[in-house]
């Protein structure tokens, strides 16, 4: 446990002082824990497990979270697998990810509440809300369910490449006495890669959510159906957006059903993904049974 705790702390880039503050002990007391001179209480272990994004059981057993291997492809190629241990990202998708991230940073990155965790959630709602509204991907990143909410698995590798290209810079700041990772854009985003529809959509999500801090965004994401019904550590399916309820649903599904009543759904509502068509069809059948 001693080597494990030090290893996990260093992996996550946490200082001893930071973890001491998180579990409400002094730094010397925390140092005693790492040296094996003091046992953790159950509540302290729970807090550390949450910080390392682990269950209490896995933390106490010294387990590490298995993250999928991420490979940035140089040639466009469709990623293989639904629950990937290896995520291959096409070059065009990587480019779009970079420009959307730069756009987010240029618009709201300077806000004191927008650190890495908040950016994760903004990307998630940009991607999933767009898929619900238009039936297609904007970035199409792969998100997994973690304790603090949806996490884009490609983020670390994309950001590392952007740092090497000197288009962003990672800095650490303090937000309400907590360490926070922030990213500063070193160039303007290339907006030519985004359609007018995509740019407008991103602006709408930022206007809705960018004033929330990381904790508020994490709590908000925990109420979204795609996150709620997915098991811990698994990939969140985009198809689940069609099961959303208020306040997360981007469409008034009841109103759309009224418009489509008595007509062919495809004709009434226009082209849509198969999953969305089946969602409307099932609702129509349920309503017919009630009548």
pLDDT digits (tens, 9 = 90+) for 31-81: 998 888 888 888 888 888 878 877 777 788 888 765 555 555 554 444 433
Q: Phi-psi bin for 137: left (phi > 0), alpha (psi -120 to 50), beta?
A: beta
- Choose the weakest-confidence range: 98-107, 147-156, 174-183: 174-183
Tracing tokens 């990155």 back to the chain, one arrives at 109
Contact 65, 41 (CB under 8 A): no
pTM over 0.75: no
- Choose the weakest-confidence range: 92-96, 219-223, 226-230, 266-270: 266-270
Whole-number pLDDT of residue 82: 45
Residue 175 has pLDDT above 80, yes or no: no
Residue 6 has pLDDT above 50, yes or no: yes
Residues 6+ apart with CB under 8 A from 12: 51, 52
Give CB contacts under 8 A, 24+ apart, made by 128-133.
128/224, 128/226, 128/236, 128/238, 128/241, 129/201, 129/205, 129/241, 129/250, 130/198, 130/201, 131/238, 131/241, 132/241, 132/242, 132/244, 132/249, 132/250, 132/251, 133/201, 133/250, 133/251
Tokens of 9: 């702390």
Whole-number pLDDT of residue 229: 94
CATH class of the domain at 2-60: mainly alpha
**Is the C-alpha dihedral spanning 232, 237, 239, 242 positive or negative?**
positive
């Amino acid at each position: 446990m001693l080597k494990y705790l030090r290893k996990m702390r260093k992996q996550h880039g946490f200082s001893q002082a930071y973890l001491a503050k998180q579990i409400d002990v002094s730094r010397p007391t925390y140092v005693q824990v790492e040296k094996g001179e003091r046992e953790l209480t159950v509540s302290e272990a729970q807090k550390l497990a949450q910080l390392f994004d682990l269950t209490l059981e896995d933390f106490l057993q010294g387990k590490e979270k298995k993250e999928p291997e991420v490979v940035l492809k140089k040639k466009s190629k469709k990623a293989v697998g639904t629950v990937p241990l290896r995520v291959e990202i096409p070059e065009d998708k990587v480019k779009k990810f970079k420009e959307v991230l730069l756009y987010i940073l240029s618009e709201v990155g300077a806000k004191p509440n927008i650190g890495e965790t908040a950016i994760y959630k903004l990307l998630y709602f940009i991607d999933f809300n767009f898929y619900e509204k238009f039936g297609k991907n904007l970035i199409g990143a792969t998100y997994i369910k973690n304790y603090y909410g949806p996490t884009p698995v490609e983020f670390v590798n994309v950001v590392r490449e952007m740092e090497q290209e000197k288009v962003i810079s990672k800095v650490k700041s303090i937000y309400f006495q907590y360490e926070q990772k922030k990213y500063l854009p070193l160039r303007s985003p290339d907006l030519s890669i985004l359609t007018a529809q995509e740019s407008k959509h991103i602006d709408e999500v930022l206007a809705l959510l960018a004033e929330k801090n990381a904790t508020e965004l994490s709590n908000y994401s925990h109420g979204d159906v795609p996150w709620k019904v997915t098991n811990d550590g698994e990939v969140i399916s985009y198809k689940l957006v069609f099961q959303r309820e208020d306040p997360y649903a981007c469409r008034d599904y009841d109103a759309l059903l009224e418009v489509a009543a008595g007509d062919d759904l495809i004709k009434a509502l226009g082209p849509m993904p198969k999953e969305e068509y089946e969602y409307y069809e099932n609702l129509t059948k349920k309503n017919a049974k009630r009548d």
